[in-house]
Amino acid sequence: MTVAGLSTYDPDNVFARILRGELPAKTVFEDENVVAFADISPKAPVHVLVIPRAAYVSFADFVKRASGTEVVDFFRTVGLVATQLGLDDPGYRILSNIGPHGGQEVAHFHVHLFGGHPLGAMLPG
């Protein structure tokens, strides 16, 4: 589905292929709606990507098209994954890149979960 300002979902994006089992992933959590796996190029001691199984291009697409229940359940699950990874104390960071200015490389909605050491400034510079 095309959403104003967003490109159409590409079913052959890397994360769609991971969801179909066509590419390997180090999965740390999965349920019927959500999968979390290690980022292939970690930027922190813990760097996990949390994704919905459903096809959304980005955070912007997700919050426009998903039901309220889907949105709430997804973000609760992000928090659950962080808890299960032992990140609640002393804390962690979540981030989602949207579109070219956001630096989004993979056009399947995902939240980055970073932790395991002090993460420093929110943005470089």
Dihedral sign for Cα 109, 113, 119, 120, please.
Answer: positive
- Among the listed residues 12, 32, 41, 90, the single contact to ligand AMP using CB under 6 A: 41
| Continuous segment of H or E residues that includes residue 28 | strand 27-30
* Least distance from ligand AMP to the Cβ atom of residue 94, Å: 12
* Least distance from ligand AMP to the Cβ atom of residue 89, Å: 25
| Continuous segment of H or E residues that includes residue 101 | helix 99-102
- Among the listed residues 8, 22, 40, 75, the single contact to ligand AMP using CB under 6 A: 40
Per the document, the length of the chain is: 125
Rounded CA separation 74/63 (Å):
11
* Least distance from ligand AMP to the Cβ atom of residue 37, Å: 6
Q: Is 110 noted as a catalytic residue in this protein? A: yes
Q: Judged by CB under 6 A, does residue 28 bind ligand AMP?
A: no
Rounded CA separation 60/67 (Å):
13
Give the interface with ligand AMP as residue ranges (CB under 6 A).
Answer: 14, 23, 25, 39-41, 49, 97, 103-106
